[in-house]
Structure 1
Amino acid sequence: MTGIEYDDFLDLDYAPTDTDLLCEFTIAPAEGMSWEAAASRVASESSNGTWAALHVEASELTDLSAVAYDIDESTGTVMVAYPADLFEMGSMPQILSCIAGNIMGMKAVDSIRLADCEWPRQLVEGFHGPQFGSAVMTEKLDADDRPVLVTVPKPKVGLSTDAHVDIAEQAWRGGVDLLKDDENLTDQPFNPFEERVERSLAKARELTEETGETKDYLVNITAETDEMIRRAEFVAEQGGGFVMVDVVTAGWASVQTVREHCEDLGLAIHAHRAMHAAFDRMEHHGVSMRVIAQVSRLCGVDHIHTGTAGLGKLANEDTPGINAWLKSDLYGMNDVVPCASGGLHPGVVDALLDALGPEILIQAGGGIHGHPGGTEAGSRALRQAVEASQQGVSLAEYAADGHDELQTALDKWGSETPR
């Protein structure tokens, strides 16, 4: 008989191998629990440990124990190394069930947060990753030297199909590249999916010809998995180049399935992160947005919302750091284009591009449609703000030089961000 003791999962002299998945946790040990005891329980519960002695011969066991190998009490950080063979290749649900599963509810810790991961090649190669990545900016759009501009018709639910298409036309004519459904617009009676997609993409083709710039539509296909596949096929049949998935609420297995089908259909995937804050908002517990972004890249999205570096309406987060990881080398896997969204308007574009650089999507909703001159004027103002920033001219100077739409936007909103 062999028993698995918690001490077996703690080795502060352990040197991780290049096949280990390394996870950084921030923990607060429960009352009466030492740092070493709490760290070993994290490694145990997330791999092959249990609280009782087992009647299993050692010769019958495969050694798949995780190891807590570093503890920094000053920062609350615990590092855990997981052998790659603990995981099923290409199964994100199984991986997360280990590293962000039962451990989130353990009594041994008052709180625990999965803050970061270092992914070994062996695991990365089990995933498809993005089909296009940053190439989407030139292969599907005409934004090789500037940010891609995106808008969601507002209000985001409740508009009729007629109103939706009319707003799309104005936005595209004003200089926006992409129309986007928001997270909770799918197939409702006031704006049915198939009618909206067919008419919006037909209008996109008209505006592409009129403006000489490619116009397209991020279509929200979020639903039960089989229905998402059917909707993706419909988008492709109508000539669309993109689909959107609410990746957290749909689930990672669904995202992986959609990614496989979208490769056959030639569709890029836009990831909305609705519900992410249920996991990442508390700094001391849950799963960080950095890890959610990593998982999204592995599962195969081409762009994802990562925040605004504090320049929008949402809580601040490490947007530059997340974006850098999404653009970093990952054993040759395609990168992901970050999307900045949430309370943006023309008056913050210069600061946004200073913080995040030009290879991003900029999504503005109210910051376009709330323009006193209407949607087309709001789109022109956003495009003018990008032009000014890329030319190194202040927004105020550019606005005063005959760019009336930008001037109106600055008069209305200045450089303040909403709350």
Structure 2
Amino acid sequence: MCFGNRREENVDRIYAEYDLETPGDLTDTAAIIAGEQSSGTFMKLAGETEALKEAFGARIESIVETGQFDKPSLPCKIDGTKYTRGKIRLSWSLANMGISLPNVLATVAGNLFELREVSALRLLDVEFPQEFAQKYAGPQAGIAGTRLLTGVSSGPLIGTIIKPSVGLSPADTASLVLELAEGGIDFLKDDELQANGPHCPIADRVQAVMTVLNRFADSTGKKPMYAFNITGEMDEMKRNADLVRDAGGTCVMVGIHSVGLPCVTELRRHTDLPIHGHRNGWGLFSRSPDIGISFIAWQKFWRIAGVDHLHVNGLRNKFSEDGASSIASARQCLTPLFRGAKDFRVMPVFSSGQSAEQVEDTYKALDSTDLIYCAGGGIMGHPQGLAGGISSLREAWQAAVAGVSLEAYSATHPALRAAVETFRPRFS
């Protein structure tokens, strides 16, 4: 459930909603969570006066019971005769943590998941007051800036990931990039596993790749965007962002879970380049319905911190996430987070086993082409080669936007037909 920004409520508070299961009473357990995450502890203390609790204690805003069960969803230290599930909504004074993303995260997703009174707990949504839009830069490029830098004014950005993920030299990578650029690619990225190792140092990779892309841009007027993986220590990321900028690059990629919110925030302050936010490790937060953080809540932190692109998987992807979740995630990226010019919208990135085969259903479900559609095997595994793979994706999107079925359009477009025949069986 997404409750958005509720302007009729206090703007100096943080609101969060959870799916809670407990062997105890919902109200009692909600009070334990509220106390643990604000002014209370496991016992009554003299210093926690009524005045202090009123000013700084977390408030229970609402509780709605949704069901009762005979067994706990997760291991629980407290045995119960029944386990009650419900949606609870809590709020905290902004004075507790200040306008600080790391401290909001510690408040709404800190020491509550492991409480003994909890047999399931999932953070569903967080509401940030407008003050966060004033303190944090948010996305530098977002959707409009990414389109401007790539020269793709409408339609999806057709993208790919350098494959094999690791093992290629800088020269090998540059050779592959040139072939992809000549095939019509809009966006390329390092795999998240390709960092700064001795077989492909980032300085050499940037030099080799940007030499190719700059020459291609000089001769054609089009410069595909390449997201170089600069994940590392803070000083190292700043140096490498400058390296990419000075070489004429237009994007950097960061494994956002690996570096954390403060590093992404500082990198955004340091560089004007778009930040491609890779969510490797996301399954730790998302895979279980009984613990973790929903994408609705999670993505808000990273948009405020300053990423411009966020991965959302895709339909019939190679992971455990279902297609409906991926579409809902993409919609969140395209939904304004704050009012005003700084709405912090970001470009959703469809990836993970994508090919021309999923395009028609993706467009029908999302009803937008504001996205990066990344296909690794879907391009490089195409029987007509890289150019055929790229053409098949463009043709699939042309058909989808025109309202023509994939089958009908592929009858007169050989690259698309080959893609459908090659990829349709894989994840259906």
Output the TM-score relative to the length of structure 1.
0.89
CA distance in 2, matches of 1:206, 1:388: 32
- Number of the residue aligned with 2:167: 158
CA distance in structure 1 between the partners assigned to 2:171 and 2:387 by the alignment = 16
Superimposed CA distance per residue, residues 53-76 of structure 1 (whole angstroms, 9 cap, x where no aligned partner): 323274994821111121111162
Asked if 1:321 is matched to 2:313, the reply is no
Question: Residue type matched to 2:202 in 1?
Answer: F
* Contact 1:141/1:215 (<8 A) preserved: yes
1:252 aligns with 2:244: no
Q: Which runs of 5+ in 1 are unaligned?
A: 1-14
Kindly report the root-mean-square deviation, in angstroms, between the aligned alpha carbons of the 2 structures.
2.0
**Residue matched to 1:71:** 63
Change (3 A) 1:373 1:163: farther
- 1:132 matches 2:132: no
Contact 2:356/2:378 (8 A) holds in 1: yes
Partner of 2:387: 376
The Cα shift of 1:365 comes to 0.4
Alpha carbons 2:39, 2:48 under 8 Å: kept: no
Among candidates 281, 284, 292, match of residue 290 of structure 2: 284
Name the residue aligned to 2:74.
Answer: none
Could you state the TM-score of these two structures normalised by the residue count of structure 2? 0.87
Q: Which residue matches 1:413?
A: 423
The 3-state SS of whatever aligns with 1:353 is: helix
Query: Deviation of residue 38 (structure 1)?
Result: 0.7
> Which residue matches 2:78?
none
Aligned to 1:269: 275
2:193 is the alignment partner of 1:184: yes
Structure 2 Cα separation of the partners of residues 198 and 379 of structure 1: 25
Report if aligned partners of 1:312, 1:417 keep a CA contact under 8 Å in 2.
Answer: no
Q: 1:383 Cα shift?
A: 2.0
Of 11, 23, 36, 1:18 maps to: 11
Query: Contact between 1:84 and 1:122, CA under 8 Å: does it hold in 2?
Result: no
Aligned AA (1:331): R
CA contact (8 A) 1:276 1:289 kept: no
C-alpha contact (below 8 Å) 1:243/1:267 kept by paired residues: yes
Change (3 A) 1:233 1:374: same
Distance 2:185 2:426 in 1: 21
8 Å CA contact 1:153, 1:369 repeated in 2: no
Q: 2:156 aligns with which of 147, 160, 164?
A: 147
2:405 aligned with 1:394: yes
2-structure distance, mates of 1:190, 1:389: 41
Q: Percent identity between the aligned chains? A: 30
1:57 and 1:50 map into 2 onto residues whose CA distance is: 10
SS of residue matched to 1:318 = helix
Q: Deviations over 1:360-419 (max 9, x none)?
A: 110100111111122222122222222222333333333332x322222122123x4538
* Contact 1:130 1:300 (8 Å CA) reproduced: yes
Cα pair 1:137 1:144 within 8 Å, conserved: no
User: How far did residue 121 of structure 1 move?
Assistant: 1.5
Q: CA deviation at 1:214?
A: 2.8
Matched, 1:311 2:316: yes
Structure 2 residue identity aligned to 1:318: S
